[in-house]
Amino acid sequence: MANFNKVMLIGNLTRDPQLSYTPNQTAVVDFGLATNRRWTGQDGSQRQETCFVDCRAFGRQAENINKYLTKGRPVFVEGRLTYEAWTAQDGAKRSRHRVTVENFQFLSGGGAGGADQSSADSGADTGPRDHKGGDDIPF
């Protein structure tokens, strides 16, 4: 049977990206993403739930996410779900799922600070910016 592992999310960063480098100098960025779901309950009341997701990107993508995104900014991420398991210092077994980002797009709006930073240089808002890690400038 075939397998398929694809995750697509639109949400806002829950914290500023944290950039680090592997021993062979590959950039790695970790960030949190919050996605919201809104619906109307059977009683007519408005409801909302938030899902918090850990994400990680590598290479040029990691550097661009770190450079252009901050807490509160909206982003579209596409990637795969990965599972990590480890033993904590206290001996307890820990595990988590994380999205390994394969592609992403900057989105307009959200966050504090006013103007959309990804469109500030062009002077016009042209909508989502697609970035697959091949450019120095993501727009």
User: Over the stretch 42-82, which tens digit does the pLDDT of each residue have?
Assistant: 999 999 999 999 999 999 999 999 999 999 999 999 999 99
CATH no. for residue 68?
A: 2.40.50.140
- 123 part of a folded domain: no
- 46 part of a folded domain: yes
- 37 part of a folded domain: yes
Instruction: Please give the Cα distance from 12 to 124 (Å, whole number).
Output: 22
Q: Which of 78, 66, 5 is nearest to 30 (CA)?
A: 66
- 122 part of a folded domain: no
**What pLDDT was estimated at residue 114?**
36
| Secondary structure letter of residue 61 according to DSSP | H
- 53 part of a folded domain: yes
18-47 mean pLDDT: 95
The domain in which residue 67 lies consists of 7-108
Contact 32, 8 (CB under 8 A): no
85 strand-pairing partners: 95
**What pLDDT was estimated at residue 10?**
97
- 95 part of a folded domain: yes
Other CB atoms closer than 10 Å to residue 72's CB: what's the count?
A: 15
pLDDT digits (tens, 9 = 90+) for 80-126: 999 999 999 999 999 999 999 999 999 987 554 433 333 333 333 33
Statement: residue 137 has pLDDT above 50 = no
| Secondary structure letter of residue 119 according to DSSP | G
- Overall domain count for the chain: 1
**What pLDDT was estimated at residue 123?**
32
37-44 mean pLDDT: 92
- 139 part of a folded domain: no
